[in-house]
């Protein structure tokens, strides 16, 4: 993947969503309208962190390259150089997948 030309601010991250499942576990092929929106993706850019009330910088827990789970309707969809990404706050990320 090429370097992303986007620098998120504060506690925001840019996520490239995983591809939606093409088939069910039983082998049924799903049409585009029936596919579940992915809730898993990879962090491709991350901001520096959030500034606390006392002025201290609170660094992000996630980092570029982390596979994460996030809310189904989290983030804002953007298209950059023909690729689709989600920009969301770190608080919208539920877990890091090991």
CATH number reported for the structural domain that contains residue 43 in this entry: 2.30.33.40
Residue with more model confidence, 44 or 25: 44
Q: Is residue 58 in a domain?
A: yes
Per-residue 3-state assignment (H helix, E strand, C coil) for the chain: CCCCCCCCCCCEEEEEECCCCCECCCCCECCHHHCCCCCEEEEEEECCCEECCCCCEECCCCCCCCEEEECCCCCEEEEECCEEEEEEEHHHEEEEEC
Query: What pLDDT was estimated at residue 50?
Result: 92
- Using one digit for the tens of pLDDT, what is the confidence trace for 70-79? 988 889 999 9
In a domain, 49, yes or no: yes
Given a cut of 60, is residue 92 above it in pLDDT?
A: yes
Residue with tokens 């969809």: 77
d(CA 30, CA 32) in angstroms, rounded, equals: 7
What is the per-residue pLDDT across 27-67, written as a single tens digit (0 to 9) for each? 666 555 544 566 899 999 999 999 899 999 999 999 999 99
pLDDT at 89 over 90: yes
Q: For residue 4, tell me if it sits in a domain.
A: no
- For tokens 């006392």, the residue is 54
Number of structural domains found in the chain: 1
User: Does residue 53 fall inside a structural domain?
Assistant: yes
- What is the pLDDT, as a whole number, of residue 38? 66
Predicted pLDDT of residue 91: 93
């Amino acid at each position: 993947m090429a370097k992303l030309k986007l620098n998120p601010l504060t506690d925001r991250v840019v996520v490239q969503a995983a591809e939606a499942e093409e088939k069910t576990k039983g082998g049924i092929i799903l049409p585009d309208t029936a596919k579940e929106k992915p809730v898993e993706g990879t962090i491709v850019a991350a901001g520096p962190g959030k500034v606390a009330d006392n002025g201290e910088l609170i660094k992000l827990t996630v980092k570029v390259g982390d596979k994460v789970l996030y809310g189904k309707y989290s983030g804002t969809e953007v298209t950059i150089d023909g690729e689709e990404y989600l920009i969301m706050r770190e608080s919208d990320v539920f877990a890091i997948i090991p």
